[in-house]
Amino acid sequence: MHVVLVEPAFPNNQREFLRGLLSTGARVSAISERPPEALPSALREGLFQHERVRSVVDEHALAEAVKRLSMKARVDRLEATVEAHVMAAAHVREQLKIHGTTSRTAWLCRDKPAMKDAVRKAGLPCAASARVTSVADAEAFAKTTGYPLILKPLDGAGASGTHKVSNDADLKTACETLRVAQGRTVAIEEFLEGHEGFYDTLSVCGKPVLDFACHYYPNVLEAMRTRWISPQIVCTNRVDGDPYKELRQLGAKVIEALGIWTSATHMEWFASPKGLKFSEIGCRPPGVGVWDLYSSANEIDLYAAWAHAIVHENVPFKTSRKYSAGMIALRPDRDGVISHYDGVEQMQQRFGQWILDSHLPPAGTPTQGVEGGYMANAYVRMRHPDYDTLRSMLNTVGETVKVRAR
């Protein structure tokens, strides 16, 4: 088995996917925008071949690199785990007749209106949505559906480029910002009230074999817009219980409806007054280090599990569900540079045994904007056998640890 991994060097957690592949005993090659020296020596020395290209989303360059690798040994798998790389890899896979995620599935997992159409046709609950190609289209949708609404890029990830609109004036502003009048096509959809979370799987031959459920506190859009909030992502160890049965069934049906075969998946959902609703899905792992939380919470090497799924279409790993795990983002009190921290010693004294790790950039580090996400500045990751206790600890950390900037 010869597996080619697209861009193993950046971002840094890509190295974990390479490590996982190397652990299977498969022949592993890499295509990267960076030289081999960008990888740690242990990983670099384990590679069969390395090809450097100007851009891994340049489909011609990617295909030519795969062809060169296939001259050394037939390429059996071509894998990409970064959202922006998934479509290019799928197109090249299809062009060169390599087994894996199809172009259709990759497109459905990127194009929000098409995704929701496919899910809706399968009879699954999701927000009303449409593809907007003009301001008139947006106004017509608003008249039919009512406010509030969400506008976002067709292939946007997370809350990036997302606008919540509550009236006609907001709608006009969002359309201007997203350049709808200049011909850009965007997605518009009903804004769902309620609690937001995500359901992630490692699926083999279209069936989830490992799965995980997480909760956002607060919902993503609010978290990415509000400085004083220290937002949390918390993975529960109660996912095998009855309260998650409907969510797990929904996730499995979405995977089937979109034709996802052997892949990691990341599905957003809302528990709203109108019931459980599908939001969106990617045929790739989640970001912001969530797989590290899953691995720690379940005493499992999820990167190796993923690699076995790709190489063998079999996962010889089990989730322990021993712990819940979570992360809390700690925002600077203003833009500028970090001057110092308050409360770190108290946090260590109270919760040291439950802290997985923390990222506390040193004094003098420039701050990043709130919209930069959960890992943009400081953060702490923790685990505990009891979900409610973990939530309480994370809340206390948010109240105790302060990032001061000047």
Domain 128-190 in CATH 3.40.1620.10? The answer is no
Which pLDDT value is given to residue 158? 54
Whole-number percent of the chain with pLDDT over 90: 89
pTM of the model: 0.92
Tokens of residue 311, six digits? 């190489």
Tokens of residue 194, six digits? 């309620």
Q: Which fold has domain 2-100?
A: Rossmann fold (3.40.50)
Per-domain residue ranges of the chain: 2-100, 128-190, 195-405
Which pLDDT value is given to residue 371? 86
Q: Which is the CATH superfamily of the domain at 195-405?
A: ATP-grasp fold, B domain (3.30.470.20)
Q: Would you list the DSSP string of 72-135? A: HS---EEE--SHHHHHHHHHHHHHTT-SSS-HHHHHHTT-HHHHHHHHHHTT--B--EEEE-SH
Contact 312, 262 (CB under 8 A): no
Which pLDDT value is given to residue 60? 98
Which pLDDT value is given to residue 157? 60
- The three-point CA angle 324-327-333 to 5° equals 150
pLDDT score of 273 more than 90: no
pLDDT-based confidence at residue 275 (cuts at 50, 70, 90): very high
Contact 221, 163 (CB under 8 A): no
State pLDDT tens for residues 112-164.
Answer: 889 999 999 999 999 899 998 899 999 999 999 999 999 988 876 656 678 99
Beta strands in 154-262 (DSSP E): 163-165, 186-190, 195-204, 207-217, 232-235
Say if 128-190 and 195-405 have the same CATH topology. no
Residues 6+ apart with CB under 8 A from 219: 195, 196
pLDDT score of 312 more than 80: yes
Contact 335, 367 (CB under 8 A): yes
pLDDT-based confidence at residue 302 (cuts at 50, 70, 90): very high
Exposure letters 24-49 (e unless 16+ CB within 10 A, then b): bebbbbbbbbeebeebeeebbeebbb
Contacts 24+ apart (CB under 8 A), 352-360: 354/382, 354/383, 354/384, 354/390, 354/393, 355/380, 355/381, 355/382, 356/292, 356/293, 356/296, 356/325, 356/381, 356/382, 356/383, 357/381
pLDDT score of 17 more than 60: yes
Residue whose entry in the numeric block shows the structure tokens 């259709």: 104
Of 53-57, 178-182, 346-350, 377-381, give the lowest mean pLDDT range: 178-182
Contact 99, 79 (CB under 8 A): no
Higher pLDDT, 222 or 382: 382
Which pLDDT value is given to residue 97? 97
Higher pLDDT, 370 or 266: 266
State pLDDT tens for residues 91-108.
Answer: 999 999 999 999 999 999
pLDDT-based confidence at residue 327 (cuts at 50, 70, 90): very high
pLDDT score of 397 more than 80: yes
pLDDT-based confidence at residue 183 (cuts at 50, 70, 90): confident
User: Average pLDDT, whole number, for the chain?
Assistant: 95
State pLDDT tens for residues 212-258.
Answer: 999 999 999 899 888 899 999 999 999 999 999 999 999 999 999 99
Please give the average per-residue pLDDT across 267-279, as a whole number.
94
Task: Select the highest-mean-pLDDT range: 183-187, 220-224, 397-401.
Answer: 397-401
Which pLDDT value is given to residue 226? 86
Cα 76 from Cα 100, distance rounded (Å): 9
For 109, 252, 268, 281, the CA distances from 265, given in Å and listed in that order, are 10, 10, 10, 7
Which pLDDT value is given to residue 162? 87
Strand 77-79 to strand 163-165: parallel, antiparallel, or no bridges (unpaired)?
A: unpaired
pLDDT-based confidence at residue 264 (cuts at 50, 70, 90): very high
